[in-house]
Amino acid sequence: MQTLLARAAVGLIALFVVACSTVKSGSLTPGMTPAQTVQSMGEPDLKDNVADPNHSGATVLRYVWLEPGKAAIFGSDERLASVQDVETNTQQHVEEQTQAEAAAAGPPQRFDPIQTPLDYLFYPVKAGAIYFGAGLNCAAGGTCQKPHLPPPSAG
């Protein structure tokens, strides 16, 4: 029984050591090479060249990791010059934005069996009057721009 427990303990320790050695540390420090950043953070989601903020006309290497939201910008000497935070549209962020837009729109408009068809029936007349007014404004020396048309259900 003791040998079984000892073997289980040794197995758990070995599993713990292997698991800890394969976990990415996720830390970026200035002076790292591109290979060291890949070893630390894993393969980047985006590799590209961007304009060097320090020199005009030169380009430098940039790696971007979307999940942790980090971007590594290397200098002309192929060493990590700066680390920036990158905002990504995570699923939670998109859902929060959708909920905020729905709350700002207010409650849905109720269907009125008489008013709604009339709104849509007379919408071309309303749109024509708005465009006529915009054209008259432009001809009289006012601002000449495309008018904003409200939706047909706006009344």
Query: What is the arithmetic mean of pLDDT over 26-39?
Result: 88
Provide the residue count of the chain: 155
Domain count, the chain: 2
Question: Of 9-13, 25-29, 34-38, 135-139, which gets the smallest average pLDDT?
Answer: 9-13
The CATH code of the domain that includes 79 is 3.30.1450
> Residue 20: inside a domain, yes or no?
no
What pTM was estimated for this model as a whole?
A: 0.44
Same domain, 88 and 116: no
Same domain, 34 and 73: yes
2-6 long-range contacts, CB within 8 A, separation 24+:
none
Residue scoring higher pLDDT (95 or 18): 95
> What is the extent of the structural domain holding 143?
110-149
Q: Which amino acid is at 119?
A: D
Split at pLDDT 50, 70, 90, the class of 130 is very high
Round to whole Å and give the CA distance between 32 and 53.
Answer: 19
Same domain, 81 and 118: no
> Residue 14: inside a domain, yes or no?
no
> Residue 101: inside a domain, yes or no?
no
> Residue 11: inside a domain, yes or no?
no
Q: What is the dihedral of CA 74, 75, 80, 81, to 10 degrees?
A: -110
Same domain, 82 and 119: no
> Residue 36: inside a domain, yes or no?
yes
| Beta strands, E only, the chain | 46-51, 59-65, 70-74, 80-85
Query: What is the arithmetic mean of pLDDT over 122-148?
Result: 92
